[in-house]
A and B are shown apart, each in its own frame.
Chain A
């Protein structure tokens, strides 16, 4: 009983402190995002699988802002991104009994978010919903050494990418996934992910040549 309580406390403690991007959002992820599944995360998953749904709370606290940002970038609609974030976590919670703890949790969660987002995008396309550029997405950190409108230009170019290419760019550059890990989330090999990333970057570059990003 005491051991269980202690492990639960250990599970809850590091939810924000262990989050380097919340502490310093401008710092690029240098370690593999997927392989960095920490002990507290594994413990939370184990306890949730053991019938303690409250042990899932730290995972929600840690990943919900990221998943929301990921889906927001895909959908460009704040409310829908939040609804889909909730749906992603509910799907993950319901699927957790079938989750293999040997597999990377983050990649699994992002796969659920990706599929949820893609379904929503298909729905948007069917309904013909027009989304506008969001200034929040175009706001790059100040003092970045780039032109003042670089963020806006980039956002306009990103908006023209296919959902898959946008997801690949987001996973690789913003979420810190390696190409192999991002490819696994999107259901493609590392080679295919590399080629797709190269194409996407080429496309971005071509679309942004009209505006120079250099200061």
Chain B
């Protein structure tokens, strides 16, 4: 390794030492003691490091602090977390959905003839068909499909019954109040957004 390469390595090691705030290793210090260029490099780094650490003192700024605090005091309160709005709306809908039908005595699940859910039990009466060559749809499987169709119809009937109960459960005023509350929330949110925009442009 020639002298220039050694110097480059030594100066890189000096850089690292200043980055990490550690003392120079023995080898680096020994080289710097004999090499004028590396010694000058080290001195200039040390002087630069010292001057960078000696930052101008931070001046207190009471007027600025008061100004910012006064500005913050005019900001709208933000007690609610961002997720509170959707959670609150969803909760209100759930409560209304639960209260409406319950107060009107409407059953949640329609009376369904459970016997009609399963057609032609047992589904797979003849296990022998598994040994036969499959040329047509087995009888048992056809029964299954029919049972599944019936189950789907019953489920949909249950859901549509619940939905109709949800609609029938309320007085129209409940819907009016609900919509007014929603509109008021949107208006407040919009006003807050407008005030933020105006504050920003007024700076």
Contact = CB atoms under 8 A, between A and B. Distances in A.
Interface of A: 21-22, 25-26, 28, 49-51, 53-54, 56-57, 60-61, 64-66, 68-69, 82-83, 85-87, 89-90, 93-94, 96-98, 136-141, 144-146, 150-151, 154, 169, 173-174, 179, 194, 197-198, 201-202, 204-205, 208-209, 213-214
A90 B74 CA distance: 11
A144 B54 CA distance: 8
Contacts of A86: 64, 67-68, 71, 203
A145 B50 contact: yes
Interface of B: 15, 18-19, 43-45, 47-48, 50-61, 64-65, 67-69, 71-73, 75, 77-82, 196, 199, 203
A211 to B, nearest CB: 11
B188 to A, nearest CB: 15
Contacts of A89: 68, 71-72
A205 B78 contact: no
Nearest to B84: A97
B47 A51 contact: no
Given A25-B58, A51-B79, 20 more contacts: A22-B58, A28-B53, A51-B78, A53-B73, A56-B69, A60-B72, A64-B68, A65-B60, A82-B67, A85-B64, A85-B68, A98-B82, A139-B56, A141-B54, A141-B57, A150-B51, A194-B19, A198-B15, A201-B15, A201-B18
Given A51-B77, A66-B58, A86-B67, A56 B52 contact: no
A97 B50 CA distance: 40
B126 to A, nearest CB: 63
A207 to B, nearest CB: 10
Contacts of A205: 44-45, 48
A68 to B, nearest CB: 6
B78 A140 contact: no
Given A25-B57, A26-B57, A65-B60, A151 B51 contact: yes
Given A51-B77, A69-B58, A97-B81, A140 B51 contact: yes
A21 B58 contact: yes
Contacts of A204: 48, 52
Nearest to A61: B65
